[in-house]
Chains A and B, each alone.
Chain A
Amino acid sequence: MATTDLRITSAMMDATLLDLPWDLPLDEWPDDTVVSLPKGISRHLVRFARLGGRVVAIKETTEEMATGEYRMLRRLQRLDVPCVEPVAVIAGRATVLGEPLPTALVTRHLRFSLPYRALYSSALKRSTAQRLVDALAGLLVRLHLVGFYWGDVSLSNTLFRRDAGAFAAYLVDAETGTIEAGGLSDGRREDDLEVARVNIAGELLDLAAGDRLDPSIDPVAVAGSIVEQYRELWHTITSDELVPSTERWRINARLERLNALGYDIEELSMSTGDGGTTVRIQPKVVDPGHHHRRLNSLTGIDAEENQARRMLNDLDQYVAHEREVRPAAGDDALANEWFEQVYLPIVQAVPRDLAGKLEPPEVFHEVLEHRWYLSERERREVPLAEAATAYIETQLAHRRDEAALLGVPVTVTMPIVPIETGAIDLSDEDDDPDWRDKV
């Protein structure tokens, strides 16, 4: 293998990187290396490979673009934005005969993350579609808060993790993005929103064209809902509010509203006006992950925001209940007790062979849901341990593994570079006789 001229940029130098066949074009990598064949066309060829027990995504592109995207992903990570983890840029590749090969960008596959096309079995349901759009709206707000202009917002460029009945969205493709140090202009935010609306509509219309969308869904309306979702969230987080100084409790109410949405206020600007009769408040720096952080500091559990919210509800109930019995017990001690006596027994009850089905916090959430369902059905308070056993046997065992469910989104991104079409396998039904019926 011609590794002598490879130029590897990586923050986490993993020697096993060198074991991958960099002297072969990506589309010729052997089956024992590649995890899944590409199902779609991307602007660039993307494939998945195994690397030291983990799965990585490898994208062939130009050195300039790979380096740019690698740096951008690192920056986004440092800004605590949910995105895929950049692993390395491999430049200077060549075949054994010395033919140059494109630069490769290596990113780590997010465990338990799913492309939107993996979120339906026969057709995408309305509730799922809506939750995907909501998750993407939340991600877009987070990106815009740090000054990131995406330029290519779409479901295809996003991965989704289950989050206690909702989804948490992660940015996958940062190729077109830029960070504006002084914050984003309204024009850029509006442009991202419009791109999102059009792309989501296209993606849903495409599912509809392939009979993979619940016929009751109006793709244009669902896509359009990202605009309202986004605007509402953005307004709640960033707008300024004029509060009469006699109603200062409204400042706290604003804080609580933000907390409920999962945001903490790091910096709030307040100024008095009208001779001291009003106070103008505006959040200046906000930090997402309110519930995530609180749960993490109490128990050490690393969960998505909604999962954390759900668990905190349970934890708070536990603490309140125990406090009645043992008024002297401290919060930290009780939280630790909840972790050891409630949370751990449940997630540890999952047999090893079912561990790849769902993330532990999601299992916990589903067990709570299942307990509620059982209690309703049986009209009695079903104990958590019993609910967990029933859930594992009747529900979890029948689910698919989602730890490393792979698949490149089948959406074709149209590059200006003509693509070699021979190797691409896209499902294709019989052509319609008259295109006018379908425009």
Chain B
Amino acid sequence: MASVTFDKATRLYPGATTPAVDAIDLEIADGEFLVLVGPSGCGKSTTLRMLAGLEEVNDGRILIGDREVTDVPPKDRDIAMVFQNYALYPHMTVAENMGFALKIAGVAKEERAKRVEEAAKLLDLEPYLGRKPKALSGGQRQRVAMGRAIVRQPQVFLMDEPLSNLDAKLRVQTRTQIASLQRRLGVTTVYVTHDQTEALTMGDRIAVLKDGVLQQVGTPRELYANPQNVFVAGFIGSPAMNLLELPVSEGGVRFGQHLTPVSREQLSAAGSGLIVGVRPEDVSVDADGTDGLPVVVDLVEELGADGYLYGHADVEGKRVDIVARVDGRAHASAGDTVHISPAQEHVHLFDKESGKRV
């Protein structure tokens, strides 16, 4: 096992004017589960492939442990791409299926048996080692495939959107399995997804990328509670954070009649203007009063105990969409006008021009 270091690692595709991955600095601790997340085209898969050795590094370095691997061929990096299309061979036993790659690598027979047995224990496959794949259930076969990667005892596991083709239910089930297996194995893992929910539920830490640039790295809690810029604020969390350009007046920002205090330092830090971020659960909805920004309700999505109110407001002549979490039993209906204001301690402020948190 080992740490992973990206040291100003850059990938510029031939003929491109901007890098696909731009001088990434990232330290992944030994045994950590790090998720790379971002929208399509943000450079997350390229970053993973740079670590795998599939993509050239035009500038900067990549280290696994203390060893620089920037120019090392993929097979010599001691990494395993998990869930690539692993084949299960019908005439070979489960043990042979798990261990044959070790045979190819010239690992001695006793060592092969030892590693296969260890992996089988971890994966609850011990009773099946002498059987053929035919005799296994779908889930067991899946674990044999994981076993193939585990017996190699790589320093790092790499996973590129392994769940993208599963239906919603299986995705939830499998992501729990992967996360718990990773914790039992303690192998450093880099996992790529475009799905922020997957990132929040699986990663020890999350690295958010956009346009090839690392936006923020942190625990799921840090990213959620303390996004460092407007992009991370809007990307992490579902439904997304409300991001509003509200009128600023002396002492705060105005949600309609409601004044949310903002410190003088914050106001002066935001040169050109402020973007105010409020998560849906931090929006308080007043159905009767007039304190807050008037919002016309378009739809209420019922989720049982909770619901999400989707509506729109007029802010200085511009239509803005608003989402608020509401009580599942008692809430306004479509067509109603309600007044919203934020929970003051959970207001996020960003500089309008740079997008940075102030």
Contact = CB atoms under 8 A, between A and B. Distances in A.
A220 interface: yes
A254 to B, nearest CB: 26
Interface string A175-218: 01000011101111011001101110111011101101000000
Nearest to A436: B113
Given A185-B55, A419-B141, A439-B112, A154 B87 contact: yes
Nearest to A419: B138
Interface string B13-25: 1110000000000
B320 interface: no
A206 B87 CA distance: 11
B90 A191 contact: no
Contacts of B83: 416
A177 to B, nearest CB: 11
Contact of A187 (B56, B91, B104): B56
Contact of B74 (A191, A220, A411, A431): A191
Given A198-B101, A426-B133, A435-B129, A151 B90 contact: no
Given A188-B54, A418-B139, A439-B112, A412 B129 contact: no
B268 interface: no
Contacts of B116: 435, 439
Contacts of A421: 134, 136-138
Nearest to A201: B104
Contacts of A152: 84-85
Given A182-B14, A416-B163, A438-B95, A431 B87 contact: no
B130 interface: yes
B141 A194 contact: no
A190 B75 CA distance: 8
A209 B89 contact: yes
Contact of B88 (A181, A412, A433): A412
Interface in A145-177: 149, 151-152, 154, 156, 176
A43 B138 contact: no
Given A182-B13, A223-B104, A205 B92 contact: yes
26 contacts: A62-B165, A65-B165, A151-B85, A181-B13, A195-B84, A203-B89, A206-B92, A207-B91, A212-B91, A411-B87, A411-B90, A412-B88, A413-B88, A414-B141, A416-B83, A416-B142, A418-B137, A421-B137, A424-B134, A427-B90, A431-B131, A432-B130, A439-B96, A439-B109, A439-B113, A439-B116
B168 interface: no
Interface of B: 13-15, 49, 52-56, 73-75, 83-96, 99-101, 103-104, 109, 112-113, 116, 129-139, 141-142, 144-145, 162-163, 165-166, 170, 174
Interface size class of A (residues with CB under 8 A): 35 or more
Given A187-B54, A416-B174, A201 B100 contact: yes
B69 to A, nearest CB: 11
A191 B87 contact: no
B302 to A, nearest CB: 24
Contacts of B53: 187, 190-191
Name the residue among B89, B112, B139 with the largest chain A CB count within 10 angstroms.
Answer: B89
Contact of A412 (B55, B74, B75, B87): B87
A209 B14 contact: no
A134 to B, nearest CB: 19
Interface in A299-357: none
Name the residue among B14, B15, B85, B103 with the largest chain A CB count within 10 angstroms.
Answer: B85
Contacts of A247: none
Contacts of B86: 413-414
B134 to A, nearest CB: 5
A48 B95 CA distance: 33
Pairs A-B, 10 closest by C-beta atoms: A418-B138, A210-B91, A182-B14, A206-B89, A435-B95, A414-B145, A412-B88, A209-B91, A435-B130, A435-B129
B73 A187 contact: yes
A265 interface: no
Contacts of A416: 83, 142, 145, 162-163, 165-166, 174
Interface string A22-46: 0000000000000000001101000
B112 A417 contact: no
Nearest to B128: A435
A202 B89 contact: yes
Contacts of A187: 49, 52-56, 73-74
Contact of B104 (A186, A220, A410, A439): A220
A434 interface: yes
Given A187-B56, A220-B103, A413 B165 contact: no
Interface in A379-427: 410-421, 424, 426-427
Given A187-B73, A205-B96, A431-B93, 16 more contacts: A149-B54, A181-B13, A187-B49, A187-B55, A191-B53, A202-B101, A206-B89, A206-B92, A412-B133, A414-B88, A416-B145, A416-B166, A418-B141, A427-B90, A435-B95, A435-B129
A154 B91 CA distance: 17
A428 interface: yes
A274 interface: no
Given A190-B74, A191-B52, A205 B87 contact: no
A438 B101 contact: no
A209 B92 contact: yes
Contacts of B101: 198, 202
Contacts of B135: 428, 431
B95 A439 contact: yes
A24 to B, nearest CB: 20
Nearest to A182: B14
A99 interface: no
Contacts of A417: 138, 165-166, 170
